[in-house]
Homo-oligomer: A and B are copies of this chain.
Amino acid sequence: MSARTAAPSVKRSIESSKKPLGSVPTLTAVDQVDTSFLETLLGYNARRAALTIIEVFLERMAKFGLRPVDFSVMSVIEHNPGVTSRQLCAALNLLPPNLVGLIQSLEARGLIHRRPHPTDGRAMGLHPTPEGSALMQQAEQAATDLEIECSSRLTAAQRKTLLDLLQKIYL
């Protein structure tokens, strides 16, 4: 790690590499940016990795009209027909107000429909339509494909390890 002493390729008015506290600030140029400290932080690395994958996700999923959260919601509905909005929020860590428009949009597109909950009159069960199921079958395959591509520098065993370790953070 080359954290402490900045490595200026272009030194103009530098006398020494140590920083006397009262001295006039030196005008240094940075040739290569050192991010080694940030790279020791899980939060930073997890966020950067997530955003990298999501960027590819957005491109590939555009043809399905599914953003990441749409995809997650549809996937949970597909695998849990009859799930309620409240359950979706708990499972995906979403806030109820932000789910309302999303659900309405999916219903308007004919991908899901809402039916009365069998026991709770306040709740609505969310079910995939045949069109929604067909779409998700394609979308989940596409998601799996792009994930493999994004982790092409990992072996299958490393990929599995990564999944397990990440889940130990948030589950």
* A residues with CB within 8 A of B: 1-4, 6-8, 10, 12-13, 15, 21, 25-30, 33-54, 57, 68, 72, 75-76, 79-84, 87-88, 90-93, 113, 115-120, 125, 127, 130, 133, 140, 143-144, 147, 150-151, 153-154, 158-159, 161-163, 165-170
In the complex, are the beta carbons of A72 and B49 less than 8 A apart? no
Residue in A49, A130, A143 with the greatest tally of chain B CB atoms within 10 Å: A49
In the complex, are the beta carbons of B27 and A115 less than 8 A apart? yes
A54: contacting residue among B47, B150, B159, B168, CB under 8 A = B47
Between-chain CB contacts (< 8 Å), 13 pairs:
A3-B119, A4-B79, A4-B118, A27-B118, A35-B91, A42-B150, A44-B72, A46-B49, A46-B50, A49-B50, A49-B169, A52-B169, A153-B168
Residue in A1, A40, A41, A51 with the greatest tally of chain B CB atoms within 10 Å: A41
In the complex, are the beta carbons of A41 and B170 less than 8 A apart? no
**Contacts A7-B80, A29-B125, A147-B41; is A158 near B163 (CB within 8 Å)?**
no
A2 to B51 CA separation, bound complex (whole angstroms): 29
Residue in A43, A53, A130 with the greatest tally of chain B CB atoms within 10 Å: A43
Q: Which residues of B contact A119 (CB under 8 A)?
A: 1-3, 10, 12, 29
